[in-house]
């Protein structure tokens, strides 16, 4: 199962540590039961936000062990190359986001071109879409439930 994490979800996890749904999902990624996917553009945004002084200060106050989690997450993210010039911007979801928050388009781009199963976000504009092609757009808690349900069905088949 391929998963894209929105930047806000990652920042929230770094602040919450092991008390977050995203952290639980990361433990599945560590076992290679799910895979985190990013492209150069989404990874650059994540690294930019995570390196901002105000976020580092906030994260460090909430979770002193955030750097260990950040390093683990970085090691689990698979960076995929893609050519954004080939993206069909006529998709209705692109038009919806262009009018709201164009910065969110990069998450839909990678979902479309990397066969992503779940985009995990807390962003209302993205959540309002519900799906994008084959990708489900979900909050972390809902994504964790879907992952657990899917993995338990896989175990039942074995």
Quote the domain boundaries for residue 59. 2-149
Has residue 45 been placed in a domain? Answer: yes
Quick: pLDDT tens for 10-41.
Answer: 999 999 988 999 999 999 999 999 999 998 88
Q: Which among 104, 108, 103 has a CA at the least distance from the CA of 118? A: 108
Distances from the Cα of 15 to the Cα of 11, 84, 143, 154, 155, angstroms: 6, 32, 19, 32, 32
Has residue 154 been placed in a domain? Answer: no
Quick: pLDDT tens for 120-135.
Answer: 999 998 998 898 888 9
Alpha carbons 81 and 38: distance in angstroms, whole number: 9
Q: Which among 147, 146, 124 has a CA at the least distance from the CA of 31? A: 147
Has residue 131 been placed in a domain? Answer: yes
pTM recorded for the entire structure: 0.86
Can you give the CATH number for the domain in which 24 is found? 3.40.50.1010
The count of structural domains within the chain is: 1
């Amino acid at each position: 199962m391929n998963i894209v994490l929105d930047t806000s979800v990652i920042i929230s996890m770094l602040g919450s540590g092991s008390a977050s749904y995203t952290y639980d999902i990361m433990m599945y990624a560590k076992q290679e039961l799910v895979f985190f996917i990013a492209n150069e553009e989404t990874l650059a945004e994540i690294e930019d936000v995570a390196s901002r002084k105000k976020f580092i200060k906030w994260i460090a106050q909430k979770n002193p062990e955030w750097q260990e989690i950040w390093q683990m997450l970085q090691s689990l993210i698979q960076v995929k190359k893609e050519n954004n010039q080939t993206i069909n911007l006529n998709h209705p979801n692109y038009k919806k986001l262009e009018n709201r928050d164009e910065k969110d388009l990069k998450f839909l781009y990678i979902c479309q071109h990397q066969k992503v199963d779940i985009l995990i976000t807390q962003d209302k504009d993205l959540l309002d879409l519900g799906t994008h092609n084959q990708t489900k757009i979900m909050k972390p808690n809902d994504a964790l439930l879907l992952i657990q349900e899917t993995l338990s069905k896989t175990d039942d088949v074995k």
